A and B are shown apart, each in its own frame.
Chain A
Amino acid sequence: GQNIDQPTEMTATEGAIVQINCTYQTSGFNGLFWYQQHAGEAPTFLSYNVLDGLEEKGRFSSFLSRSKGYSYLLLKELQMKDSASYLCAAMDSNYQLIWGAGTKLIIKP
Chain B
Amino acid sequence: GAVVSQHPSRVICKSGTSVKIECRSLDFQATTMFWYRQFPKQSLMLMATSNEGSKATYEQGVEKDKFLINHASLTLSTLTVTSAHPEDSSFYICSARDPGQSDYEQYFGPGTRLTVT
Contacts and interface: CB of A to CB of B under 8 A. Distances in A.
Interface stretch (B66-74, B78-86, B103-111): B103-111
A13 interface: no
Interface stretch (A36-44, A55-63, A65-73): A36-44
B104 A31 contact: yes
A80 B104 CA distance: 30
A100 B44 CA distance: 8
Main secondary structure of the interface of A (DSSP, over half): loop
B57 to A, nearest CB: 10
Interface in B19-49: 41-46, 49
Interface of A: 4, 30-31, 40-45, 48, 87, 89, 91, 95-97, 99-102
Nearest to B111: A42
For this complex, into which size category does the number of interface residues on chain B fall? 10 to 19
A56 B44 CA distance: 26
B56 interface: no
B64 interface: no
B104 A41 contact: no
A91 B104 contact: yes
A85 B44 CA distance: 12
Contact of A40 (B107, B108, B113): B113
A96 B46 contact: yes
Contacts of A101: 41-43
A78 B7 CA distance: 33
Contact of A41 (B45, B49, B106, B111): B111
B104 A30 contact: yes
Contacts of B41: 101
Of all A-B residue pairs in the complex, the 3 with the closest CB atoms, nearest first, are A42-B108, A101-B43, A99-B43
A87 B106 CA distance: 14
A31 B45 CA distance: 18
B17 to A, nearest CB: 24
